[in-house]
Structure 1
């Protein structure tokens, strides 16, 4: 297996949809990729929660992953989300992602039956046998009902092709235990927006961050300040502008918030799929205000929906 540690900020990207939400919008994928990569971000992660993967068909998931690999054109790595309810479908998506050119796959545990640890070992082991690219474990216990101990996560990495994990658990003590005690087995990537400053300041080498799809330049600057230069003063100044946006997004349906954000900055990705509804007008105005307070230029609503 070929593997190279991820560094920097990898954006958890949206799945752009046509205006009636009936299909993946290929032009929209290119628009998102250019906005993000030109903003200095270090990787793309399609097919996760931000990408509304649970609302997509199997073919749409494959299409979105292919389109993002194509749009990245080798400039940054693409980590394709391939988690599914069954091992068979997870393997199918992962094999397809590898053939499409993904640098790695991100796999969430099956999120209905809450498999036990031995079942997880078999599940991730089956994918490991089927592909020759690394696996990023997607830790999001609020959605999966699966909460591993730090020791179990390290064992999972030792016995399968899992080399890193995205932590969307929100428990910084748990994240720190994995990062500090099990770094020889697995690389810890922050995936909880409002903990980004703390994670980077504590030495995490990478993060998967949906907000970077809206404000890529500010997010890249935060990583440069904390992760590269170790400049806490500059990092704190940037974080004071970024944090209110992160807090807002964590207070609403996340995919909808990100899609509203990219629309407000002029790179519309279409609607979310139902049952998720658009942000209420007052929340949309609040997000615009937060973006502008952070120094981000927004477009008017007529231009945003054009």
Structure 2
């Protein structure tokens, strides 16, 4: 059973069509140095659905080779094509990944019965265990709690990542899965990490852990220890990161622009984004630079 902090790794791009391999290597080493419990590649933060299959395959190969089983690697296989999702799952299995993660296909909608049928078929054909991924803002499809409970009974479906941002919804899922304690329940929005863990969640897939993995690992450990003083301190810092780095500009991609810009300013990797999005111009970069200069993450970790 997977628990802990599993960062949704960004995909460093040298340009719009090519992977920044050296940047990816530095990024993986940086994240692993923070003591994370796994890596999630090619998710939303990793721009998976926007990348060519060539780049997706390169990312899977590079990360699995570099990690070399130090921590579990989860691979995003979300696609509008069922066949391509299965192909990506087979590629992930070939190079040593540990599990795959799939949001619903994001063009045609479906009802809950169709959603169940889709994931049962995907789990049947995937050579790796499968995580469900609830991302209704991007897919227009929402997993009802009963649907999650139903799918959790499949032997090859082992977990659920919720990025709805709805704490009450997450608590309902936790309640329905209380008789299935080996089923992993993760939350995406880092602002909710503390609350969801206190109510039965198992960890976070948090974008800020690309930059400050040790902070999110420390929050996870503080919740396990029920150290409310440390939790409160870490929560303030996490909210500071969210409110300063993810709110610059007016693009729907400003969260991702902010994360990539920060990593670029930290000297870790490039800040190029896949089309249709672009990296920040100097005015926005200066705002991110100013915010980074005011952060003192190490101060709250001591």
Q: Normalising by structure 1, what TM-score?
A: 0.89
- Pairing of 1:77-226 with structure 2 (within 5 A): 77-159=72-154, 161-185=156-180, 186-226=183-223
C-alpha distance in 2 between matches for 1:183 and 1:63: 38
More displaced, 146-155 or 279-288?
Answer: 279-288
Q: Secondary structure at the match of 2:152?
A: helix
Deviates more, 1:47-56 or 1:270-279: 270-279
2:75 is paired with a residue whose SS is strand
- Once residues 84 and 32 of structure 1 are traced to their aligned partners in structure 2, the CA distance between those partners, rounded to angstroms, is 25
Shift in CA distance, 148/22, structure 1 to aligned 2, threshold 3 Å: closer
CA distance in 1, matches of 2:98, 2:245: 28
The runs of 5 or more residues in structure 2 that have no matched partner are none
Moved over 4 A (4+): none
RMSD value, Cα: 1.9
Aligned to 2:276: 275
The secondary structure found in structure 2 opposite 1:11 is: coil
From 11, 18, 21, the counterpart of 1:15: 11
8 Å Cα contact 1:139-1:169 kept in structure 2: yes
* Alpha-carbon distance in structure 2 between the residues aligned to 1:157 and 1:248: 37
Q: Deviations over 1:7-37 (max 9, x none)?
A: 110010011111x332112222211110000
CA distance in structure 2 between the partners assigned to 1:266 and 1:177 by the alignment: 41
Q: Deviations over 1:36-89 (max 9, x none)?
A: 001111111110111111221122212211211112111111000011101111
Distance 1:63 1:172, change over 3 A: same
Aligned to 1:255: 256
TM normalised by structure 2 equals 0.90
> Residues of 2 paired with 1:167 and 1:217: CA distance?
22
Q: Structure 1 CA distance, aligned partners of 2:245 and 2:111?
A: 31
| Bigger mean CA deviation after superposition, 238-247 or 162-171 | 238-247
After the TM superposition, which of the residue ranges 181-190 and 64-73 deviates more from structure 2? 181-190
Contact 1:33–1:68 (CA under 8 A) maintained in structure 2: yes
Check 1:90–1:58 CA distance in 2 against 1; reply closer, same or farther (3 A cut).
same
- Cα shift at 1:193: 2.2
The answer to whether residue 286 in structure 2 is matched with residue 285 in structure 1 is: yes
**Equivalent residues of 2:78, 2:101 under 8 A apart:** yes
Report if the CA contact (8 A) 2:19-2:55 is conserved. Answer: yes
* Distance across 1 between alignment mates of 2:225 and 2:67: 27
When structure 1 is superposed on structure 2, of 138-147 and 64-73 the one drifting more is 64-73
**Which region of structure 1 is more displaced relative to structure 2, 235-244 or 126-135?**
126-135
Name the count of aligned residue pairs.
291
d(CA) in 2 for partners of 1:204 and 1:291?
30
CA distance in 1 between partners of 2:256 and 2:198 (Å): 26
| Offset at residue 187 of structure 1 (A) | 2.6
In structure 2, the residue corresponding to 1:158 is in which secondary structure? coil
